[in-house]
Amino acid sequence: GAGVSQTPSNKVTEKGKYVELRCDPISGHTALYWYRQSLGQGPEFLIYFQGTGAADDSGLPNDRFFAVRPEGSVSTLKIQRTERGDSAVYLCASSFNLGGINQPQHFGDGTRLSIL
């Protein structure tokens, strides 16, 4: 596809369950980013990948959150033992690298996660 694709678009689950959120970046984009957006707030950085490796995971709130990008393309954000406070829209973005510098990020439409 032309843009960043995120699946599912909506996810409702019970407190304590495990969830996986998938991001398919724009073809050729080497950098991939995850953000979390709560209602009425701007996106909050979680983690970014340069290729297969996590270049900066300083935004992950605790060890229940984990993300992978094993082949340098698709990424999965994993949340264990979900809590009601994890309810938010999880946004993925990607960018291409030009001359060693990552360019501005392009976002998907997000996964709306609701924890009951």
Q: Under the criterion CB under 8 A, does residue 5 sit at the interface with another protein?
A: no
Q: Number of residues interacting with another protein: please give it, by CB under 8 A.
A: 29
Among candidates 103, 43, 104, 46, which has minimal Cα distance to 76?
A: 46
**Which window, 12-20, 69-77, 78-86, 103-111, contacts another protein (CB under 8 A)?**
103-111
Smallest distance, another protein to C-beta of residue 80, A = 24
User: Closer to another protein at the Cβ: 83 or 109?
Assistant: 109
Build a one-symbol-per-residue string for 32-71: x at contacts with another protein by CB under 8 A, - elsewhere: -x-x----xxxxxx--x------xx-xx------------
Residue in this structure with the two tokens 């973005």, named with its chain if needed:
93
Question: Would you mind telling me the total number of residues written for the chain in this entry?
Answer: 116
Find the shortest distance in angstroms from Cβ 16 to another protein: 27
DSSP assignment of 10-44: EEEE-TT--EEEEEEPPTT--EEEEEEE-TTS--E
Cβ atoms of 95 and 27 closer than 8 Å? no
